[in-house]
Amino acid sequence: MLMEKSWGLFIAWIVVFGLSGAAKAEPLKVIGTATYNGSNYNLIYEETQGLIWLDYKKSPAYPVNQVAWATELNDVGVLNYSLLSGYTIDWGTNLWRLPSAGNSPVEGYYQTSSEMGHLFYTSLGNLGMYNLSGTYQPGFGLVNKGPFDTLESVHYYSGTLHSNDGFGYPRYWTFDFYTGYQYHATYYIAVMAVRDAEVSYTQNNTIPEPATMLLLSLGLIGLVWVRRKLN
């Protein structure tokens, strides 16, 4: 009898803790849309970096033009927001900008101090063409795009200046979403915009997901079974 009671308590404990684990935060989630030039684009929140990505790929241009484009997104009426139910955004004094390559960027793979590098490797879980030991990795590249619709396996400028190229043209740090490699360049390259923000969510009569419902049901059955055995 004691053995049965112990096993019952153990099963109930596993189910309860499994239920709590099912509620863990997603690395990337769509929290609404922004209307730009008459079309709607997802706003994607990356909680680990405290960033909101605008799911829009700006066509290739020189870096100074791309920086100017990101700045123009902050003009009144350029973007109009529609958030999903329960979400609120505190933008603070932050503005739309190009992603940062970090405080001391270096060339190479797995540069996760870069905002695009962190997105590619950490939040999306992709592999670089080579690992840190220089070994080729099959299955590399933008295999997982997560909730992004417009993200492509191309090069994207950051907003972090590297140097001048010797002819008076600025070079900016760049991330290649095909190989996972960070470098610097000064030619026509695409961009996407990002903005620092604090996102809050208030749950209002939401329906639990099927997996959560199943775990909850199993937990209740286990607790009832234990109670009967104890009586």
- What's the mean pLDDT when you consider all of the chain? 85
Q: What is the pLDDT of residue 215?
A: 52
The answer to which of 71-75, 98-102, 199-203 has the lowest mean pLDDT is 199-203
Q: What is the pLDDT of residue 227?
A: 58
**Residue boundaries of the structural domains of the chain:** 2-22+210-230, 28-201
> CA separation (Å) from 228 to 5, 9, 218, 222, 225?
10, 12, 15, 10, 5
Average pLDDT for 73-102 = 97
Q: What is the pLDDT of residue 93?
A: 97
Q: What is the pLDDT of residue 226?
A: 47
Average pLDDT for 30-39 = 98
Q: How far apart are CA 230 and CA 227, in angstroms?
A: 5
Instruction: Name the percent of the chain lying above pLDDT 70.
Output: 75
Q: What is the pLDDT of residue 223?
A: 52
Our measurement of the distance from residue 54's CA atom to the centroid of its chain's CA atoms, rounded to an integer in Å, reads 11
Q: What is the pLDDT of residue 203?
A: 81
More confident of the two residues 63 and 18: 63
Q: What is the pLDDT of residue 11?
A: 47
pTM of the model: 0.79
Nearby residues of 34 by Cβ (< 8 Å), 6 or more positions away: 40, 41, 43, 54, 79, 80, 81, 82
Q: What is the pLDDT of residue 164?
A: 74
Tens digits of residue pLDDT in 109-161: 999 999 999 999 999 999 999 999 999 999 999 999 999 999 999 999 999 99
More confident of the two residues 124 and 3: 124
| Residue type (1 letter), 186 | T
Average pLDDT for 188-203 = 96
Nearby residues of 43 by Cβ (< 8 Å), 6 or more positions away: 30, 31, 32, 33, 34, 52, 53, 54, 55, 81, 83
Tens digits of residue pLDDT in 128-142: 999 999 999 999 999
Q: What is the pLDDT of residue 214?
A: 53
Q: What is the pLDDT of residue 26?
A: 80
CA quadruple 221, 226, 227, 228: dihedral sign: positive
Average pLDDT for 216-227 = 52
